[in-house]
Each structure stands twice: as C-alpha cells, then as structure tokens.
Structure 1
C-alpha cells in the first residue's frame, strides 16, 4: 500500500448525492485492506443437537450474534465437565479440557442475558450445595472453637511452665498433635467467579473447590482490575496460564498462610468491548500475547446485530434451554474425585482410533501454516494451541452428548475441528491488525469502525465530530483522522466530504451492500 500521498489534497465532494454515498458510479472498486480477513458464519451445525437447539432458541429471542450465544453455552459445558475428565491426545500428551473463550462485542449486545440462560442450572446447583452445607459449617465452627480453646489452654500452660523454668516437653508434644488435628472446613462448591483477582481465585481453588469458571459479561472488570495492574500483570497472567495447563501453583506468603493450588481446573469466558481489550494490550506492553495468555483463548469477534433486532415476545416455554440445563444438572450431580489434599483426580478419556487420526490431520494442517508466509503465521501463537483446544472441545462435546464411559468419537473431533478453525479465522481478523505497521493498523481499525457504524445507523456517511467522540481509541484527534482517511481514500474505501464547515467521511457504498451476519 502506498502510504505517502502526493501533493494533491484529499477529495472534497460537494455534490449531495456523492456526500450521501448514493452515487455509486462515481466510486471506484474498493481495494481490500492488507489486514482484511473475510468473516465466516459461525458453524452452529457443528454443535451436538442438544447444544445447537438451545443456542438457536436463545439466539432467536435475544437476536444476539450467534457466536456470542454459542460461546456462552460452551462455557457452561466446560465448567460442568472439566472437573470430571481429562483428555489424552497421545502418549505423554494428556491435559485438562477447560476452555478459555474471548468474545469481543459492543456494549448492548445482550452478553449477560445470553450467559444467564446457560448458567441457570449451575447457579441453582451451587446455591443448593451451599444450603446443604449449612449444618456442616455449624459443626465446623463449633469444632474449631473447641480446638482453639484447647490450643489457647496448652499455650498458656507452656508459657507458665517456661516462666517457672520447668520442662514443657509433654505440652509441646500435645500442642503439635493438636495442630495436626485442626478441624478443616468442609469443601463447598463455588463454581462461578466474576471480578475476583487471580490471587483470590487461587485461594478459592485451593481452599474451597478445585474447579471454577471466571465468567464476565463485562471483562473490563477482569482485565482492568487491580490484579492486572502493571506490577502484578506478569505474575497473574502466568497464574491463568498455569491453570489452563492444569499445573500446580505454589503461593508463598510472609504474613499469612502459604498454600498450593494442585490439580485444579478452570474455565474462562470473557466478553469484552474492543476498546477495553485494546487498552489492555497497550497496558500490558506486549505481555498479553508474549506470555502466551491470549494464545490459549478461542477468540470471537462477531459483527454487531444492533439495529437489526425488532421486538420479539419471549416464548412461554423454553424446551431446548430446559433440556440443556437438565443435562448440565445431571453432569453436576455426578461425583467428583478429589484427593485428600484437595486436588482433582479426573478420569482420563482417550481419542478413539478414528478420532485420533482426525486430530492428527488437524494438528499437521495447522502446523504447516505456521511457517513464514503461511496463512497462520501472524497468529502462530494462537494457532499453536489450536489442536490442543480442538481436543479439549471434542472431549466436552462427546461427554455432554454421550457421557464419559467411552473414548472420544471421531464425530466429536470433526465438529470441534470446524469450530476451532472458525475461531482461528476470527483470531486472524482481530489480532492480525496488531501485527501491522501503525499507519495500516489505524486504517484497518477505522475502516472496521466506519462499516459497523454505518450499518448500524443505515447511513453511508459519518461526521468527523462523531468519530472524535465515539471512534476507535487512539484515532479521535483531527490529525490522526485525516491521515488515516487518506489511507482509505487511496484504497477507494472512503472520501472526505466538505459541506460548508461540516466535515464527514463517506464510505464506499459497495462495502455496505452486505447485511451484517449474526
């Protein structure tokens, strides 16, 4: 792309038809942006029947992007199943099945509404477990009070004996034995976290329940939290990476009790606005990708459906959502294997022979595209985890549909491969911009924002004042807007329109001919 314009000024169009973008004959054929990756429809037909039906039922009512709805459903499936099974991809290649999902979506996309449909059974089960544990908590408090009284008595006797110069050996041994018998609190399942810091999450996984999910429909609370501050960012990203991997985490403390997170499983499903995510990238100084944190996520960047959502009456019955939640409840009611030290001991599912062949085919196809010049080279960090994510997702789909008594079927691997491939394409669309030169990145970001805004407002023009107020972060001052628009002018994608003192950007109507996909 030629990034240096000659001495000619940007076209100033006074003709009203051209200003409104309706004079299509006056426009050239728009050239593609370097970062342009065509969005593809979410492969909803790859989901098992019960999940697909629930996703479609929720989507028809909420009219939210299909990918957003599907990611909410898969997060619930991941949370319910991750504590019960691990997957063996090959000899010496075993690991958790929990998913990390990242959906980039605007405010108002009904993210929390979608999440609520699919976590109904989880939240009800968690509340039921807390209610059932109340007698156990009372017993524990009484036992702990008695233990603390005994401990205080022994310490006082030791103090008195030592003060009088007498031997404390017998009481020392008694105190040691008492410490070994300290009543431990009952483990009460806490499955869902929203805005907890990574430190609080680690403690919960160690002391409360070793399987959980961070579900946030406003991930700015998570990515912008104190736990993601500059000083603690690298440590906390490492924590989340280790939890995805299922490796032990040792936490040494000087002023309070040290602890270990061992054998824990975590699902993360974040829904975040683009500006918030880009701000997080900027604050992380490259750590978000360099540390491998984002590489673990299945990314979705669905086009907004706002402006195309006429009012729909809520149905009286939700048979498919009810069926989905019933299955989740059945899974949650199955016993979880936990060792004496609080670590999960999930069953190990293998890939059936045909499934393993299909998985290896996917793995090798991805690997070939990681080389320089390959289709996945610019997102090779994310692509390198794709085969692992496919095995995880395949296991989840199989366990949800068929249980955990049989090897993962080839159909599950084929379905998971299609879904993961879709997410890879989304990662190329979103993260590909971050690897481009700044002037091209700006053009790609502004171009994306202009297309979304024009489709939402059913217009071909946007005033520069609107861009300064609501445009992409970092592209709101006049000089940057002018320089970026020149890039889009060179490509025949936009024009600078001057109408008296009013300045607007007119978008090539050929780029707005396609209705946004859900």
Structure 2
C-alpha cells in the first residue's frame, strides 16, 4: 500500500518541490531587499508587507501515506506524524533496535517514554525549536508492535531504572510471552492456499483505500464509535470486575498498572473488530466486545505471568525456567527421575546448561522442595516431587 501510494504521489512530490523552491526564492529575494534597505537606512515597509503576505502563500506539506516505521526515534516520529501522515506504527521483529536506540539512553529515556505515551493517548504535543521549524502533533494515532528477546528487555529495564513500567509505558502494551516450541516442530508441508488470510488481506486493503478524515491542519478527525446499550453494560461489568481486583490483596494488585488499562484496551479492540466487520457507522455490537474482552483478558493473564517472572532476580528466574522444563519433561516421558546429564544436554534456555548456572537453579528447587538430587557413584539424578507431576505446577 505504501509503495503504491508513493508511486502515485511522485508527480505531486515534484510539483510540490518546484513550488517550495519558487516560494523560498521569493522569500530569499524579499529578505535580501529588506537587508539592503535597512543597511541604507531606508524604509522597507513595502517589502515587509510582501513578506507577511508570502508567508500565507507557503505551499502546504504534501501528505503521502507512510504507516510503518522500524527504528525511528520518538523525535522523528513526532515530526512525521505532525508534518507527514498523521497515523503510523512502529512495527519491528527486532525490537532491540527500538529499546537499544540512542533515544532510549539513560539521559533521554524518561522524556521519550512520555512522548510515546502521549502519542498512544492521541494527545497534542507541541515541540519548540530554536534553530529549526517548531511544530505541533495534533490528532495523530500511533501503534507499536514489537517482538523482543527477554535478555534485550531485561537490559532495557536495567538501563531505564524502572521508568518503563513506572511511566505506564509497558502497561499500554498487550503482552504475549509464548513458551518455546523448539523441539516440537516437525516439518509439515504448507497448505496450497490460505483462504482466510486472503480474505483478511483483502479486507485490510479495502479499508486502506477508504478516504482518511484529515482536516485542513493535517490532524485526523475520525468519527466517534459509540457502544450499543448491551455492549456498554457488558463493558461496565468487565471494567468493574477488573477494578475490584486492583485493591490491596486482590488478584491483580501486582499488575494494577496493566490491569487498569485492560478495559480501555478491550474497548479499542472492539472498535477495530466493529470497523473490520461492518465498517464505520453504527454502534459497537456485543459480539465485537465479547471477542475483544476475551483477547484483552488473555493478554492480562500473560502480563501477570510475564511481569511475575521478569521481576524475579535472574537466579530465581532461572529456577522457574528449569522447574517448568523438568515438569514438562517428566509429564512427556512419564517419569519423575531425570539424569542430570540429560538436563545438561537438552534443557532450555541454553544458558541453563552451564554447570554453575544449573547448580544454582537446582539449589533453589531443592530448597523449595520441588526436586531432590540423588547421586549413586558417578550417576547423578534429579528426582521431581511426584505431587508436581500429578497436579501440575503449584
């Protein structure tokens, strides 16, 4: 879509460049004349009037759709959303480019996280500059979709000193932390066609081709989607059920920053479902919200698991990972006894195969009563507490 829009805009871009060159030449000529008159101590009233009038004739920025950004800095995002296309997304399967960028250094991370939060909220952001053009982001929308390795995210947390979560930046994300499927992915031939994916892509293409409501100042002015009465009742029930668990001692107390935005995210997702299925116009239906609320609740569950483990010291986190691997192995092989050599050869993640790391993790599990270490001669075994295999993880 971006490529086709850029191709179609090439003649307009050339015309705009010519218009800007002509405007800048006129502006430069008038300013030079004013300098000459000022040097000669003569009145430049006529030229000043011409300069003021010329400012009103400055060619408007040409807005060509650009939707996807990779590792753009928050400053670059603001500029592009204000002066270019007012809707975009930072989409990257290598989020180290984002979290490890210069703009996420310790000296600027708080300012830039606040900027991204404001863009997510659709807030107005004024940027004042002394040496270049000032601008204001108004009516823009930003999506962020990132895939990131755990080590990269831990490093970002360490460098940001807790700001990533304290500012509410991470709370705005829908977190998914799937378990690795390595070792369980036998080759299968792909299907001859993907009819559902083809229909999805066609629908997205149709939506992209619709006129975008952009006002004279370059801001988005989308129509407001309301909730049908039964949808609003369901949303209120969903909101209040979550709110009740945010209190001290509640199930969601430890992730209250994330949970407090879950109902908001459910409404956003429901709006997307409504638009995708029925287009603009009409209220958001109950079916759209029910699907959206299930997705939002699933991501909230993932956030609890994610932040619960990520908040642990590295040694305890390793113990949790080893515990999960041992129980999975025991259930799969129908055994509670695993040779240590088997663990050192196959445990994931791979850094647990290092002797010292494995020893520390095993010591944690022994202390908590989840395993016993048995040695007979040179043979070393790990005995899993049978209760864990019968009932699952406690």
TM-score norm. by structure 1 comes to 0.68
Alignment length (residue pairs) = 388
> Aligned to 1:269, what secondary structure does the other structure show?
strand
Q: Is contact 2:245-2:251 (8 Å) kept? A: yes
1:236 corresponds to which residue?
112
Alignment of 1:372-391 (within 5 A): 372-391=248-267
Alpha-carbon shift at residue 289 of structure 1 (Å): 0.9
Q: Does 1:392 align with 2:268?
A: yes
Q: Give the whole-Å Cα distance in 2 for the aligned partners of 1:194 and 1:377.
A: 34
Choose which of 355, 360, 365 in structure 1 pairs with 2:241.
365
Q: Give the whole-Å Cα distance in 2 for the aligned partners of 1:139 and 1:458.
A: 72
Q: Does 1:186 align with 2:66?
A: no
Alpha-carbon shift at residue 453 of structure 1 (Å): 9.3
Q: Does 1:447 align with 2:323?
A: yes
Alignment of 1:35-50 (within 5 A): none
More displaced 10-residue stretch of structure 1: 489-498 or 349-358:
489-498
Alpha-carbon shift at residue 312 of structure 1 (Å): 2.3
Q: Give the whole-Å Cα distance in 1 for the aligned partners of 2:117 and 2:143.
A: 11
CA shift in 2, pair 1:228/1:172, >3 Å: same
Choose which of 467, 487, 490 in structure 1 pairs with 2:364.
487
Alpha-carbon shift at residue 301 of structure 1 (Å): 1.0
More displaced 10-residue stretch of structure 1: 331-340 or 461-470:
461-470
1:224 corresponds to which residue?
100
Alpha-carbon shift at residue 304 of structure 1 (Å): 1.7
> Aligned to 2:225, what secondary structure does the other structure show?
strand
More displaced 10-residue stretch of structure 1: 428-437 or 504-513:
504-513
Choose which of 304, 309, 322 in structure 2 pairs with 1:433.
309
More displaced 10-residue stretch of structure 1: 495-504 or 228-237:
495-504
Q: Give the whole-Å Cα distance in 1 for the aligned partners of 2:88 and 2:235.
A: 27
> Aligned to 2:264, what secondary structure does the other structure show?
helix
Alignment of 1:120-269 (within 5 A): 125-269=1-145
Q: Give the whole-Å Cα distance in 1 for the aligned partners of 2:349 and 2:354.
A: 7
Gaps of 5+ in 1: 1-124
Q: Give the whole-Å Cα distance in 2 for the aligned partners of 1:406 and 1:383.
A: 29
Q: Is contact 1:307-1:457 (8 Å) kept? A: no
Alpha-carbon shift at residue 511 of structure 1 (Å): 6.3
2:173 corresponds to which residue?
297
Q: Give the whole-Å Cα distance in 2 for the aligned partners of 1:259 and 1:457.
A: 63
1:471 corresponds to which residue?
351
CA shift in 2, pair 1:456/1:344, >3 Å: farther
Alpha-carbon shift at residue 315 of structure 1 (Å): 2.9
Q: Is contact 1:126-1:191 (8 Å) kept? A: yes
1:274 corresponds to which residue?
150
More displaced 10-residue stretch of structure 1: 288-297 or 497-506:
497-506
Q: Is contact 1:378-1:435 (8 Å) kept? A: no
Q: Give the whole-Å Cα distance in 2 for the aligned partners of 1:458 and 1:278.
A: 35
More displaced 10-residue stretch of structure 1: 203-212 or 306-315:
306-315
- Per-residue deviation, residues 24-67 of structure 1 (Å, max 9, x unmatched): xxxxxxxxxxxxxxxxxxxxxxxxxxxxxxxxxxxxxxxxxxxx
> Aligned to 1:298, what secondary structure does the other structure show?
coil
CA shift in 2, pair 1:278/1:451, >3 Å: farther
Q: Give the whole-Å Cα distance in 2 for the aligned partners of 1:481 and 1:363.
A: 43
Q: Does 1:348 align with 2:224?
A: yes
Q: State the Cα RMSD in Å.
A: 3.2
TM-score norm. by structure 2 comes to 0.88
> Aligned to 1:260, what secondary structure does the other structure show?
strand
Alpha-carbon shift at residue 491 of structure 1 (Å): 3.5
Q: Give the whole-Å Cα distance in 2 for the aligned partners of 1:198 and 1:476.
A: 39
CA shift in 2, pair 1:413/1:219, >3 Å: same
Q: Is contact 1:395-1:408 (8 Å) kept? A: yes
Q: Give the whole-Å Cα distance in 2 for the aligned partners of 1:280 and 1:328.
A: 34
1:337 corresponds to which residue?
213
